[in-house]
Amino acid sequence: MGEPYSFLPLVAIALIFWLMVVRPASRRQKAIAELQAGLLPGQRVMLSSGIFGTIRSLDDDRAIVEIAPGAEIEVVRAAIGAIEEPSDSSPEPHAEES
């Protein structure tokens, strides 16, 4: 009678592993694939190395990113980790004390 229930802990461990490791990893991978498929020239991006720049041109698997005026680098599309969203609010000017 106890034989069928002996596998229950293994099934529970496998389910917990899937919920905590496999599922979030596949969601992240899908989100990154969507991000890289939707890249457009002119977008400000952050590379996986932490460098910020603006996309100047795109090929099938490569991108030309301008990291400073006149300084462009060629990277693989997979190196683009995030698109920088433009901020809606402009910084408030500092009030001058009299």
Q: Are residues 30 and 56 in the same domain?
A: no
CA–CA distance, 42 with 32 (Å, rounded to integer): 19
Can you give the CATH number for the domain in which 65 is found?
2.30.30.100
Q: Is residue 93 part of a domain?
A: no
Domain membership of residue 69 as a residue range? 40-86
Q: Is residue 97 part of a domain?
A: no
The 10s digit of each residue's pLDDT in 62-91 is 999 999 999 999 999 989 999 988 765 555
Q: Are residues 47 and 16 in the same domain?
A: no
Residue 44 has pLDDT above 60, yes or no: yes
Mention every residue, 6+ apart, whose C-beta is less than 8 A from residue 96. none
CA–CA distance, 82 with 60 (Å, rounded to integer): 18
Q: Is residue 64 part of a domain?
A: yes
pTM of the model as a whole: 0.63
Segments of the chain assigned E as strands = 44-47, 52-58, 62-68, 71-76, 80-83
Kindly report the average pLDDT of the chain as a whole number.
85
Q: How many domains does the chain have?
A: 2
